[in-house]
Structure 1
Amino acid sequence: MTVPAIVILIASIVTSIFLINIKPDTSHISTAKKVADYTDPAVVYLFDMVSVEWTYYGTGDSYYDDLLYNFFNGIGTVDQFGAQGSGFIINENGYIVTNAHVVEYSKLDDQDLADMSLAYYADQFSSYLTSIGISETYDNAYNFLWSYMGWTKVDRSLRVVLPGSEIADVQQIDSKIMFNGEIKSYGAPTGEGKDVAIVKIEADNLPSLSLANSDEVQLQDSVWALGFPAAAESSALSPDAALVVSVTSGNISAVDKRSTQGAPILQMDAAITHGNSGGPVVRADGEVIGISTFGGDTVNGQEVQGFNFIVPSNTIKEFVSQSGGSNEEGEVDKLYKEGLELYWGGYYKDALTKFEAVKRLFPEHSEIDKLIENSQKKSSESKTLWSNFKTAFIAYDVVATVAIGLLVFFSFKGKSKGKPSKQKGSGAETVPVADKGIPSQVPSKEDDSNSESEDSNQETDDYIGE
């Protein structure tokens, strides 16, 4: 009975160890799906907006005064313009990576911005004159406006919008997912230097992405580019479609290129366009190898896809250090990734627990409401996650191990308690004598036989003697 019991206990220990070490099987989920789900929540939309207010002066000629009045009455005296691009969060406390050219307006001085605005007005004024039958060149229109108008105020606003908004109008986006940005470190636009900027927003528990070592990137590595390309917008789509992250895939097509300033550049064939600038390019494990920065030269005025360029992540790290920030994974990232693994593996109840924890830490997470809803719907199909019972299994294994030890101990002890075996000798068996401390000799059967023979011989001798 002892041996079967020991075998059963050992088998139960092995089974418990196996159960608590079962990991969710996610082999049926494609790499592209994993990459997209891991990274989407940390990709952000940036608006670098400028507003220039103008006033115009009298010319002393009613004809030209009427021209100016009618022109500005139609177009207004406040010019608003800006740039839009992508970026991604690298720290739960709000440090964001983007291209320098995406936030360039925030770095230009007032006069530079006013000059840009005047150029816009000159172009519009030239078109206006043409529309009323007056033919004037752009240069003449520019010089005329420069003489009779001046700027009075320049305002800037750098806004960062998290994914998941329900409206694309920057003026109406929920303040919970739109933040004012502050540039912490800045390189230079493409063609002038390293096209990287680090922007900081005031927020906590944000999802983030990890920066890879771009020196490890190999030719033909699979990559995915994420961002908000303008080409993905359409009048046929709802307004909030503009704030849905687009993901395109491709491969690294060159690793040894450099910019005109000597900075390293990676080349890929994943499609990007205006609006993708500043967005992350990630490898299969979801880590960022660089940022989408610019495309190849146009051919006959048309963009040619398949030849796009990346500022590597190791260059980005230089600016992260300058900004005073760091690249660290936060608690939201850990819980979110664990939840996804459980969800993909069919452990819906356990995934729900993780997703609800994310919701408590960061309610504005772009994917979490949908995942919570789906996990709740599938909870009746949920598998059992045995690692939840790890403490109980360990306690059982300790008790079972002790039981095995005791069974083995008592089994051997029982076998050692037998009567001593007889010692074979030439004629006697040693037995204890009750009243003496020494053994006595007990005749054996062979000795008895010899004794009887001697007695018989003695009797015969006596008889003959008579």
Structure 2
Amino acid sequence: MEAQPLGARHGALRLMGAMLLGLAVAIGPAAMLEARGAPESFADLAEQISPAVVNITTSAVVEAATDDVPRLPEGSPFQDFFDQFSNPDGNGEPRRSEALGSGFVISEDGYIVTNNHVIEGADQIEIEFFSGDRLPAKLVGTDPKTDIALLKVESEKPLAFVNFGDSDLMRVGDWVVAMGNPLGQGFSVSAGIVSARNRALSGTYDDYLQTDAAINKGNSGGPLFNMDGQVIGVNTAILSPTGGSIGIGFSMASNVVTKVVAQLREFGETRRGWLGVRIQDVTPDVAEAMSLGNVKGALITDVPDGPAKDSGMLAGDVITSFDGKEIKDVRDLTRRVADAPVGQAVKVLVLREGKTETLSVTLGRREEAEAIETAAKPGANEPAEAQLMGLTVAPVTAEQAEQLGLPVGAEGLVVTKVDGTSEAFTKGLREGDVITEAGQQKVVRVQDLKDRVTEAKDAGRKSILLLIRRGGDPRFVALSIE
């Protein structure tokens, strides 16, 4: 299955329909549970929230592709025909390309939330409001790990805005409304229900609400509302085996988005807490082998130099509580650490040889730790290419980026060969594709991809999500790593 982002540059999505199924009434001996009927109309809600939803047009300079031009014998009678249609823009010079997306205003002074992939690589961003007014926007900050971006416009008058709601209060089956700019058709409203909660697409901080509300190409960055007109999600991706929509859409939960937006607004970047351990889930087999009473917690597999090592943590410790809150699994610990303030001392409970110990850990900053780790791996020792998951990959050169029609300065790993018997080949990857993200983290070097695969395996995942660009058009593909 492939997770597809919704922006105009990110995969071909298809129109999807949503069929609402009748809910049975469960009758027990003591009580009767009645399903709520569908709202008589969404019109009042749509009228209330529409002024705060915006269309986003981005523009960027891209290199004209030349690799696909047919090569004909000199003097061929078909030469004029191919000259006319193979390069309609003229002489193969760089050209300006536009893309569409959605967003929403969160303050009267002009802060706007959207997806990172909507504005990624853009040098011009224009906001169209429900009234038809247009304003240029500047980028405040982005967080690729949650695919969130914060923009700012300057308006002479206060802007209509919407508030965030509590995504943790949403239940499976609750009604939701999605708004945005699907397929470039302008402001559009669709309704559905919350189909599932706490979905992950391989990202470290993923917490998606799944919905069957119709969301399509161009809906990226648009809001998902509850029935009180509060934003409880940001529409980001769909899951599909074919690239076409099958009614499974994902919105990043508002309780993740609000924390990211607050940091982008204050600092222009994220500042996540960092513990400095490698961890894995406690499986039933591990719990039995370690004589643990519960299959809960995060098992430490390695303690490199960092805050955890300084506090006395050891490989084999099981973290059961962080800052006074029980830890269920790796995802739970990762999010709680990320949300904790940098430099804050927190109490961490660990199980060690059957006994509970309390440690005090002063958290570092993840972004700084990642930068140091990258700098510690010099490119001089970087292999020319590597083979993973049926793919042979190598760092993309400036010349290759130009030939492949990628934006100026594009980075990633170019696929130089695909094993015809591999899952990657079955899912459509081909020579010339460029991997720009793995596990929702940027990859530039071969080692980056290897590290992301290792991290996914350490986290107990069976697959990793790759962001693939072909001719500048991205799409997500999930590949098995077992």
Measured against the shorter chain, the TM-score band is: 0.3 to 0.5
- Between Structure 1 and Structure 2, the one with more strand by share is 2
TM-score, normalised via structure 1 length: 0.43
TM-score, normalised via structure 2 length: 0.41
